Amino acid sequence: MSVDLRYDDDVTEVVEKTTRFVRDYVLPLENEHRGDINAAGGDDLRREMNAKAKAEGIFAPHAPVQFGGLGLNMSDRAPVFAAAGYSTFGPIALHIGAPDEGNVHMLAHIASDEQKQKYLAPLAAGDVRSAFAMTEPSPGAGSDPNALSTAAVKVDGGWKINGEKRFITGAEGAGFFIIMARTAGAPGDRGGATMFLAPADTPGISVDRHIVTTDRSMIGGHCEVSFTDVFVPDEDILGEVDEGYRYAQVRLGPARMTHVMRWFGSAQRCHDVAVDYVSKREGFGGKLGDLGMIQQMVADNEIDLAASMALLVKACHELDAGSHASNETSIAKTFTAEAYTRIADRSMQMCGGLGVSEDLPIARLQQELRPFRIYDGPSEVHRWAIARRAIGRAKKAAQAVAGR
């Protein structure tokens, strides 16, 4: 039979366990601390929640089975991660937050056996956290990865790295860094990037500043990090020299989609809070939920949630089928990031004055969701890529017709 959208029973079971775990244990913690993970205890709270998740059998559902995870593929991660993301502390609790989750994914695909023991095993187990050091301050690699400026120079037995990075999520308190540095060519060139693994206590690594953003659920914050004569031995090169952009692709699509999954949960929660509110609140001779303009917002949220999930399912399917799925993940990322902002916005509006207050969680969830239109590639960059591919296909099709 063509087309089957059902989940296997064991996946459904993990989803249900996660839903209960988040609702009964994680959400109260998040609400108590108004969603600020670092103020709430940071890694201490993380370890406490991780232990609970392990006890429930839902810890690290994405990690390889041999490293203690459930080994779920992308399709199966979707409903689990969404259930976790219903609380902004949920992904931390299940150890599926950014950037660790993407780093686990990449190490599982690319690292050598020795690297897996040294870096992946403790990361997958939640003993340490990690950071992915790619983005740079202007004029370095930002939306345009080709501008990579951080440079690694070959020295005896390894490489010496110098450069500045910015918006490095989780850098504060990370156990190790994956550093993207240029090993060939000049800023502006495509190619010539290499990934390096480095313990956080390697001399020359310095976490200089937290960039305070509107979101509060990223453990270790978004940091400025500098690398000064950081030595990385040859055996800590991740994959091959000069192949960094190719490996970044391996991480990119899945990491995008797990963002989509997690934040789906938060968007769903905004909607749930608002629908509950309008179903009860009196006004204009009935319930607010009886009013057409309110119903329009409810329906538009429902449509946005359904379209978000449908695009996510499609992109995960392509990734599981072995494709880079650059187009499908760009489309899903762009649509959902904007849909989530719309959902949060409508939910705030439906709740009136309370919607913009701390009495309800929507206003702070909106602050968590908004940056997704910028993080992981701004919508504009994705649209540019999507359009370029479409126009490229049109040109090829025109040539094919012309050649007939």
Residue 211: C-alpha distances to residues 130, 200, 248 (Å)? 18, 19, 24
> Closest approach of Cβ 165 to a copy of itself, in Å?
12
Is 212 near a copy of itself (CB under 8 A)?
yes
Instruction: For a copy of itself, give the closer residue by CB, 78 or 238.
Output: 78
Is 222 near a copy of itself (CB under 8 A)?
yes
Q: How far is CA 123 from the centre of its chain?
A: 16
Reduce the DSSP state of residue 63 to 3 states and report it: coil
> Closest approach of Cβ 126 to a copy of itself, in Å?
26
Site for a copy of itself in 83-122 (CB under 8 A): none
Quick note: the x/- pattern for a copy of itself over 324-353, rule CB under 8 A, is: ---xx--x--xx-----x---x--xx--xx
Instruction: For a copy of itself, give the closer residue by CB, 163 or 355.
Output: 355
Please state the φ and ψ torsions of residue 358, each to the nearest 5 degrees. -80, -5
> Closest approach of Cβ 279 to a copy of itself, in Å?
5
Residue 127: C-alpha distances to residues 52, 118, 168, 380, 384 (Å)? 14, 12, 20, 37, 39
Count of residues of this chain found to bind a copy of itself when the rule CB under 8 A is applied: 99
How far is it, in rounded angstroms, from Cα 365 to Cα 368? Answer: 5
Is 162 near a copy of itself (CB under 8 A)?
no
CB distance 62 to 96 below 8 Å: yes
Quick note: the x/- pattern for a copy of itself over 3-42, rule CB under 8 A, is: xxxxxx--x-------------------------------
Residue 170: burial class (beta carbons within 10 Å; 0-12, 13-18, 19+)? buried
Cβ neighbours of residue 192 under 8 Å, at least 6 residues apart? 182, 183, 184, 185, 242
Closest to 374 in 3D by CA, of 263, 271, 287, 228: 263
The residue range among 45-53, 70-78, 86-94, 112-120 that interacts with a copy of itself, by the rule CB under 8 A, is 70-78
Site for a copy of itself in 357-386 (CB under 8 A): 357-359, 363, 370-371, 373-375, 378-380, 382-384, 386
How many C-beta neighbours within 10 Å does residue 292 have? 6
Site for a copy of itself in 176-205 (CB under 8 A): 188
Instruction: For a copy of itself, give the closer residue by CB, 198 or 252.
Output: 252
> Closest approach of Cβ 15 to a copy of itself, in Å?
11
* DSSP secondary structure code for residue 236 in this structure: G
Closest to 324 in 3D by CA, of 266, 245, 240: 245
Is 400 near a copy of itself (CB under 8 A)?
no
Site for a copy of itself in 242-301 (CB under 8 A): 272, 275-276, 278-285, 289, 291-296, 298-301
Is 314 near a copy of itself (CB under 8 A)?
yes
